[in-house]
């Protein structure tokens, strides 16, 4: 059974304000998951939460092949705007297939395969992520319920099945560019993401702000 342990937290001042960064280890592997926390969240309900899976190419390098970096930055901006919230950063690169095979998948996508078929050709599932650590981290922070920043219905279902009280969904509006257009379309058509791509191309590459859905 997975268990997580909060090893250390430190104050992280940023352009958006001050966060606490907490590092969590677990008893099953060497992955170190993170929580970026702003404001007082202990015991609070309807805390704005983003459960973000690691994407080195998008989060760090700023790759335009996906919308991961945009979602990461947008989540922090939304949390800062409210003055309270948590971004959980799970170390599961490439929807769980790892960086090496993610790069192989990129090469297959350049040959014409979409992101789902590329993963399947490499012997993986379309999405191999495991969100089990997220509710354990939320439990450690004693968060009573969350407003989840996501466009992915499978993530909502996964977290609810693990006992996370998701009171509502806060949507992202991802900007479309020539490099990520097919990727985003695949998210909609083959992975059932809540995305309206009809008016998402913006001259400055930005995206519309988040919007919130009522509980379902």
Please indicate, yes or no, if residue 191 is contained in any of the structural domains.
Answer: yes
Q: Per-residue pLDDT for 173 more than 90?
A: no
Please indicate, yes or no, if residue 112 is contained in any of the structural domains.
Answer: no
Predicted local distance difference test score (pLDDT) of residue 172: 85
More confident residue, 65 or 202: 65
Dihedral pair phi/psi, residue 73, rounded to 5°: -65, -40
The average pLDDT across 67-75 equals 95
Domain count, the chain: 1
- Of the candidates 50, 95, 129, 147, the residue annotated as catalytic is 129
Query: E strands along 66-183, which residues?
Result: 85-90, 146-149, 166-171
Please indicate, yes or no, if residue 110 is contained in any of the structural domains.
Answer: no
Please indicate, yes or no, if residue 180 is contained in any of the structural domains.
Answer: yes
Q: What is the pTM of this model?
A: 0.89
- Of the candidates 117, 127, 182, 200, the residue annotated as catalytic is 127
Please indicate, yes or no, if residue 108 is contained in any of the structural domains.
Answer: no
Please indicate, yes or no, if residue 158 is contained in any of the structural domains.
Answer: yes
How would you label 6-33 residue by residue, b for 16+ Cβ within 10 Å and e otherwise?
A: eeeeeeeeeeeeebebbebbbeeeeeeb
Q: Per-residue pLDDT for 204 more than 80?
A: no
The DSSP code for 134 is H
What's the mean pLDDT when you consider all of the chain? 91
Q: What domain range includes position 13? A: 4-92+129-207
- Domain containing 71 — which CATH number? 3.40.50.10990
216 catalytic residue (yes or no): no
Q: Per-residue pLDDT for 205 more than 80?
A: no
Work out the percent of the chain whose per-residue pLDDT is above 90.
86
Please indicate, yes or no, if residue 57 is contained in any of the structural domains.
Answer: yes
User: Using one digit for the tens of pLDDT, what is the confidence trace for 144-167?
Assistant: 999 999 999 999 999 999 999 999
User: Using one digit for the tens of pLDDT, what is the confidence trace for 83-104?
Assistant: 999 999 999 999 999 999 999 9
Q: Per-residue pLDDT for 186 more than 60?
A: yes
User: Using one digit for the tens of pLDDT, what is the confidence trace for 123-144?
Assistant: 999 999 999 999 999 999 999 9
The average pLDDT across 109-118 equals 95
CA dihedral 121, 123, 127, 130 (to 10 degrees): -170
Please indicate, yes or no, if residue 165 is contained in any of the structural domains.
Answer: yes
Which of 63-67, 142-146, 153-157, 206-210 is predicted least confidently? 206-210
67 catalytic residue (yes or no): no
């Amino acid at each position: 059974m997975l268990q997580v342990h909060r090893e250390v937290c430190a104050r992280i001042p940023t352009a958006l304000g001050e966060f606490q960064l907490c590092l969590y280890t677990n008893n099953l592997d060497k992955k170190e998951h993170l929580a970026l926390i702003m404001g007082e969240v202990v015991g609070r309900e309807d805390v704005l939460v983003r459960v973000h899976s690691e994407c080195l190419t998008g989060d760090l390098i700023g790759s335009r092949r996906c919308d991961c970096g945009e979602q990461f930055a947008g989540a922090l901006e939304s949390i800062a705007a409210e003055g309270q919230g948590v971004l959980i950063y799970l170390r599961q690169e490439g929807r769980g297939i790892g960086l090496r095979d993610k790069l192989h998948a990129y090469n297959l996508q350049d040959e014409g395969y979409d992101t789902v078929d590329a993963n399947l050709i490499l012997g993986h599932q379309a999405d191999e992520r495991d969100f089990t650590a997220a509710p354990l981290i939320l439990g450690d922070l004693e968060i009573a319920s969350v407003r989840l920043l996501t466009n992915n219905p499978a993530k909502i279902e996964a977290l609810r099945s693990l006992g996370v009280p998701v009171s509502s969904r806060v949507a992202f509006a991802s900007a479309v560019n020539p490099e990520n257009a097919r990727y985003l379309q695949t998210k909609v058509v083959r992975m059932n993401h809540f995305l309206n791509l009809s008016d998402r191309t913006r001259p400055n590459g930005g995206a519309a702000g988040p919007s919130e859905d009522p509980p379902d």
